Chain A
Amino acid sequence: MAEALVSVTINGRRHALWGEETEVLLTVLRDRLGLTGTKNGCEVGHCGACAVWVDGLPQLACLTLLGSVADRTVTTVEGLAGWWRTLNGNDAYHPLQTAFVDNGAVQCGFCTPGMLMAGAALVRDRPGATAEAVRESLAGHLCRCTGYEQIVRAVLDVAAREEDPA
């Protein structure tokens, strides 16, 4: 284990973090940076609540070591709207955030950040994704409240719109 200065861009802002390279990204985000939007449901990779993007790909923050994100970019639920705004030059929220609100996809909301990060990657990479693809992409994310249906609806909604931006 080595202490090191790790440079990482989180939600568009560069951080120089001094710490053990084996420190867990989830703890860094929540306890050191106060980015508590990313949730800890199990700490060991079973629930999906802690999903963030590392260089744009969904990854479980509870299984990600600080050293492994050196010189990379991390996006959390707090940065999702910012990422979308930069991409589109507007002041909108990410359409999946709106779709979650409109479709009743949020109940207690604890699974929501992880679901959003997984879902937003899917609609970005696979516009027009089928219900089956949506379900497969969310399979590692437990939700105890919703029965998942309204979440699937929200993602499908956006996936359909992304395909046909009319």
Chain B
Amino acid sequence: MTVPTAERITAPATRLAGPRIDAWAKVTGQALYADDIRWPNLAYGVLLRSPHAHARIVSMDLEPARRMPGVLAVLAGPGSVAPYGIMPSTQDEHALAVNKVVHVGEPVAAIAAETREAAAAAARAAAVQYAVIKPVLRPGPGKGQVEPVHPEHPQGNLFKQVDLEFGEVEAAFFDSWVREDSFFYQGNNHGAMEPHAAVAYWTPDGQVEIVTSTQTPHYVQRELSRALGIPAYKIRVRASVVGGGFGGKSEAFGHEVAAVLLSRACGRPVKITLTREEVFYTHRGRHPVSMRVRTAWNPAGELQAMDFRSELDGGAYSSYGIATTYYTGALQPVTYRIPAYRFHGERWYTTKPPCGPKRGHGTTQPRALVEIHLDRVARALGLDPLELRRRNLTPPHSITVNQLEVTTSGLAECLDAVEAMSDWRARRLQPEPNRGLGVACSAYLSGAGLPIYWNPLPHSGVRMAVNRDGGVQVFCGLTDIGQGADTVLAVLTAHALGLDPARIRVHTADTGSTPVDLGSYSSRVTMMAGHAVLMAAERMAALVTEAVAARQGVALGEVRREQEGFWGADGVIAWEQAVQWAEAAHGPLTTFGGYTPPPPIGRYKGSGVGPSPTYSFSACVADVSVDPVTGQVAVHRLWVAHDLGQPLHPSLVEGQVRGGVVMGLGEALMEEQAFNPDGRHRGPHFLGYRMPTILDVPPIEVALVGEPDPRGPLGAKEVGQGPLNPVIPAVLNAISAAAGVDLSETPATPDRILRALKTQPQRRTI
């Protein structure tokens, strides 16, 4: 086994540092995750879930459950007063199933009791009769299907179809060299280590307090308002300390609604904590996607056109499905210059747990196929795969064919960096048997340009207060899900005000006390909350500086900072003194900042998915060996270069890159949300669903490249999602180079590799 040695991080100078502000709470066991919270008189809730993938509920006898010791409340569907869902145009979920169930693990009843064990025992006592219907396990019109997933849905199981076309696609295909490839990207789960949990209290005066493990308190508040039929201002949603999200906690879930309803029924606060098995049923993980790509090329190896088709297996409900569908087509032209582009996407309902956004949301699957396809094109054209990519990069400061505005791009530098770090040229000239290198590129959003529901308001807001004690309070709705958003908010404030970070206290993720931030998704937080906090800080600095100028009787431009304070006529004026002068002049010091992304330039239906203030870029090279007898893959090393503009905080950045890369490695090699023919999950636990352990992780060398982006706060772009995307195709391309065969699906497990070795003529490896 190789051991990581001397792994490099090369990067432009970073501006901010220091440990995470929540690190000590987390290493001493003090941090309160949702399941750690114990409000006085707390009751415990559990959900009774369907054992069937597709069934009609014939009858439900909940009396035996009600009679069990310690039971406080028992509820059956629908629970919610109106169907809810994250996308306003496709709200199709209820907290508890009505009439029929459409996936294994769908909640049908909710029980509150004195203890978790008592609630679970009561759930076992309930008697539900089901009439089982043939499950719908594959996207598509469904041969032999007995009943569609949602009989009331007008298009059968077709949830959504989208078609986009830009430029002269047919003409480009007419007399060019053309290649076509297909690929199936398997679904997978976020695997956040903390299972979802929520504690809710319906207060005697009809208000709702809920603390939940969520990435999006604002959206949860909106959805609860709809599901409960009460105004949003009566609902206060706070995120607990969140034990990882990765997209899996980005909308309201049945257990959150049920916890509120159980609390109303029993008059006590109620906590519901999902088991790991329930997390796999709640899911919203990466969609399984079948894809086909066709490209047209000129003799110089320049891409003339791309025709991309994707078919998404959406699972039982909508979730973010419309956005996901568009995302499978949106970013191809951001990475590579594509003069003519056609995209067809369709998403289908099936009777499996609903899919949703996972790190890389909808762009990870097409990225895999595009990059595998490019390697095959390079092979056919006799070009080095790196060289083919270099000839086709989307230039910086350009507008793509689908009307996305690209600002800075360090993608060429990313390729240079991984080429140099991996010693690409020399190693390709001297190949070892059964060993190969693979490369891939990617691009990702730095925050979605549009919110989930249409509104013209800021995407992120900050309220800043400075007390007479010299401390700074920052209020922002952003949510730290482990990525370090609270720390970024604090260090940006300290930086902008020229203060010791110890003065800064952040208050976040609370709809009852913080201005709205839309949430931790689409890599938007540093970009948007970052701008908002810098604006608030600039205004605060102006208030204090004006007060100093007035007291000193000097012009504003003559005020000079000295350490945390100011230079005055009689020596240094402490920050506290300056703040008190400002408070005397203005009253309590409060400023605001807000950020709204630049308006998208596209004007077509679907143009709302894809725009971003700016894009990050990444490239990866993988070095792997394949054992031709066992099909086992050994990943020797990964080299990753990422352009995130100006890195703000080195250790947070490194953590995001490494975490994303390892998650990508898991998707490439082992992770699989797979189902039996009856619709049951094949292994809803961490033995059946394998994620990388420390022993699966090879040495990873990281280079940060790029230049500060004019659109980013202090020049920063995103790092939370982008570095995952190129890893999967880089590993798959390396496997293909090592084994001399092509894979047609993820993950690249030994059985799939052996099948390819058996069924395909083996190429001579390069």
Contact = CB atoms under 8 A, between A and B. Distances in A.
Interface of A: 30-31, 34-44, 46-47, 49, 76-78, 80-81, 93, 97, 100-104, 106-113, 116, 130-132, 135-136, 138-152
Contact of B482 (A30, A109, A138): A109
Given A31-B116, A49-B193, 10 more contacts: A46-B685, A101-B20, A102-B19, A108-B481, A108-B482, A112-B27, A130-B3, A146-B659, A147-B657, A147-B697
Contacts of B700: 147, 149
Contacts of B273: 40
Interface residues of B, number: 62
B584 interface: no
B274 to A, nearest CB: 11
Given A37-B30, A108-B242, A109-B31, A135 B694 contact: yes
A142 B30 contact: no
Interface string B638-669: 00000000000001101101111111000000
B27 A106 contact: yes
B221 interface: no
Interface stretch (B33-41, B169-177, B388-396, B455-463): B33-41
A42 B662 contact: no
Nearest to B650: A104
Given A104-B651, A110-B243, A147-B659, A78 B192 contact: no
Contacts, number: 176
A142 B686 contact: yes
Contact of B686 (A36, A46, A80, A93): A46
B276 interface: yes
A152 B697 CA distance: 12
B193 A144 contact: yes
B595 to A, nearest CB: 25
Interface string B180-195: 0000000000111111
A91 B173 CA distance: 73
Contact of B28 (A37, A102, A152): A37
Contacts of B23: 100-101, 106, 109
Across the A-B interface, the 7 shortest Cβ-Cβ residue pairs: A37-B29, A108-B482, A147-B658, A104-B651, A109-B26, A110-B243, A46-B686
Contact of B36 (A36, A104, A152): A36
A40 B27 CA distance: 16
Interface string B684-699: 0111000101110100
Interface string B1-15: 101110100000000
Q: Which of B3, B22, B28, B484 has the most CB of A within 10 A?
A: B28
B649 to A, nearest CB: 9
Contacts of A34: 38
Contact of B26 (A106, A143, A147): A106
A131 B193 contact: no
A107 to B, nearest CB: 4
A131 B246 CA distance: 28
Contact of A147 (B195, B661, B687): B661
A44 B685 CA distance: 9
B5 to A, nearest CB: 8
Contact of B27 (A100, A131, A135, A145): A100
A146 B663 CA distance: 9
Nearest to A23: B117
B482 A81 contact: no
Contacts of B481: 108
B735 to A, nearest CB: 20
B694 A35 contact: no
A30 B116 CA distance: 12
B275 interface: yes
Contacts of A135: 3, 694-695
Nearest to B695: A139
Given A78-B28, A146-B658, A39 B33 contact: yes
Given A97-B27, A132-B1, A135-B695, A36 B32 contact: yes
Nearest to A46: B686
